[in-house]
Amino acid sequence: MNNQRVVTGSIGASYMRPRIVAFIPAHNEEKSIRDCLAGLGDQLLPNNVELDVFVIADNCTDRTKEKAELAGDEFDLNVKVLVTEGNKQRKVGALNTAWKKIYGDTLDLYNTTLTKYQQLYKESIKAILGMDADSRLAPKALINLWEDLMTSRNIGGVMAKYTMRMPKKKSSLSKDDVHYEEKLASGEYGGPIARWWTHQQKQDMASWLLDLQYHGGSTYVLGGQATLFRPEALQNIVEENKLDGPWQNDSDVEDMLLTWQLQKSNWKTLISPGARCFVDSMRSYHTYREQRNKWKSGTVDLLTNGNLDVRTKHKGKLWRSQIKTLCDLLIRLLFVLLLSAALATDQFYWSWLWIIPIALASVLNIMLAVKTPMHRPIDVILAGLLISPEIYLWVNLITFGQVWMERLAANKKDGWANQYNAENGKTRSKLGQGILTGFAFTGMIVVLCIYFRDYLTSPSVQQAIYPYLMNGWILLTYLTIYQSLYMFYQIWTLRKRIEA
């Protein structure tokens, strides 16, 4: 780096000033890398601590390298751009490239010993910041992460709290603006659907962060968007697992795998209460589904893959989350089936007790919407009416079902490739086809029920169906009671003054 300082004391000891080193993997990120580096340029550093930035231009076909170098000069940052070619391990390979640049490559037969300068530089590194190229740290985030990391010797990593950046209204752009197409392509602006998706992800992230902080701030995933690691902890993972770098390509959720390995080695993994990082959201159904499919399939793989010798103290929590999602799915499917059968056979009876879980869900979602950073009044209203939460939940239930079916069928997909292709418009959503198919199927069932109404409402059919309806409603009641108790517990925890 261009700011090295080697000082030789009277006793012959040589050292460099302590530093934080940032690793930023960037694959074709010419549009976002400047904003990411601008955020680093805004940071307040600890006293006598320097910041070096490694941007890994990974298999780029655009001007990422040039943009990063220009931004480094613009924001007075010590930026070093590493260029990879033919890297087949995507983000993992990019991160490990930066690691090997500093700590050496154990697989390199001709360069296994660090020079004196490299050794001094390595010893000067007191923290490693892992960031995504489309993320931006809020002011003072880095010093908050540093202070949290230095609280205790056994803290291996501290993650910033993430908030999705809300795109500006697309309608605020003038079509007469000569830069209209360029601004639209930048992702800075979005229509109502993109803004709706962004808020749902913000609220989902806020719910997750609030829950983890309520239970002490320990996390089962140090997100790759912005996490400050202790170098000794990463080196510990390399040595214990006989790796050539801390990050592994054995999972679609490499950040979660690394976190579990840290916890297995008795390192603490925490959320910073004060550091915030702004990240980009998925702004369409298709891109969101591909991203969540990758995340959820990676989580399920870690939970069920016995070949990966990792564990986390949060394993029970993750399994309970899977069971809760299954319960959400069963309740909705069972309700639709029972309601349809009851209406078709004229055996439907309303109970005012059903208002209780609906009211609890409304209160819970209003509280979550209010606690979501930078929320809008319309978001709170839609949350209270349960419109937004229910649509968002159904999308996640579809993903949940798909992930588990693929897991049971041992059908492994490339989650990174699917997400990247979706974000770049190389694949298309089947949402429209699914909606049309659903409407057609529902319409056909309604027509058949009307046509055979006399038969379906006859005493013999009613008597035959009644026991199944009763048992089904009883099962649904028990499941709903469980969910209602869980919602009440969530409402109780949200009363605390914890910020998402």
Q: What is the pLDDT of residues 431-481, one digit of tens each?
A: 888 889 999 999 999 999 999 999 999 999 999 999 999 999 999 999 999
- For 484, other C-beta atoms within 10 Å of its C-beta total 16
Across the range 236-251, mean pLDDT stands at 91
- 164 in Cβ contact with 257 (< 8 Å): no
At which of 255, 281, 307 does a domain end?
A: 281
- pLDDT tens for each residue of 271-294: 999 999 999 999 899 999 999 999
Instruction: Check whether residue 87 and residue 223 sit in a common domain.
Output: yes
Q: Are residues 346 and 277 in the same domain?
A: no
Same domain, 231 and 365: no
Look at residue 358 and tell me if it is in a domain: yes
Burial class (CB in 10 A: 0-12, 13-18, 19+), 369: buried
Q: Same structural domain for residues 267 and 360?
A: no
Instruction: Tell me the residue type at 93.
Output: G
Number of domains the chain is built from? 2
| Same domain flag for 481 and 406 | yes
Whether residue 274 is found in the same domain as residue 375:
no
Residue 176 within a domain: no
Residue 1 has pLDDT above 70, yes or no: no
- The domain of 154 spans 19-164+213-281
How far is 35 from 169, CA to CA, in rounded Å? Answer: 19
Q: CA Rg, the chain, in Å?
A: 26
User: And the tokens for 6?
Assistant: 């080697």
In a domain, 304, yes or no: no
Which comes out higher in pLDDT, residue 290 or 417? 290
271 with 329, same domain?
no
Spatial distance between the Cα atoms of 233 and 147, rounded to a whole number of angstroms: 17
Query: Among 281, 304, 335, where does a domain finish?
Result: 281
Domain identity same for 80 and 30: yes
Residue 348, C-beta contacts closer than 8 angstroms, at least 6 positions apart: 339, 342
Type and span of the H or E element at 15: strand 14-15
Q: Which of 13-17, 69-73, 163-167, 306-310 has the lowest mean pLDDT?
A: 13-17
pLDDT value of residue 107: 75
Residue 293, in any domain of the structure: no
Same domain, 272 and 334: no
Q: What is the pLDDT of residues 35-51, one digit of tens each?
A: 999 999 999 999 999 99
Instruction: Please report whether residue 294 resides in a domain.
Output: no
* Residue 300 domain-assigned (yes or no): no
Boundary of a domain, candidates 281, 308, 336? 281
Same domain, 134 and 231: yes
- Based on the domain organization, do 327 and 240 belong to the same domain? no
Q: Is 310 inside a domain boundary?
A: no
**By percentage, how much of the chain surpasses pLDDT 90?**
73
Q: CB of 56 within 8 A of CB of 98?
A: yes
Residues 277 and 364 in one domain: no
Confidence category of residue 111, pLDDT binned at 50, 70, 90: low
| Predicted structure pTM score | 0.90
Residue 308 and residue 289 in contact, taking contact as beta carbons nearer than 8 Å: no
455 in any annotated domain: yes
C-beta neighbour count of 417 within 10 angstroms: 14
Integer Cα distance of 57 and 61 in angstroms: 9
Residue-averaged pLDDT of the chain: 90
User: Apex CA 474: angle with CA 468 and CA 475, to 5°?
Assistant: 90
The band of 180, judged by pLDDT with boundaries at 50, 70 and 90, is confident
Give the CATH number, domain containing residue 154.
3.90.550.10
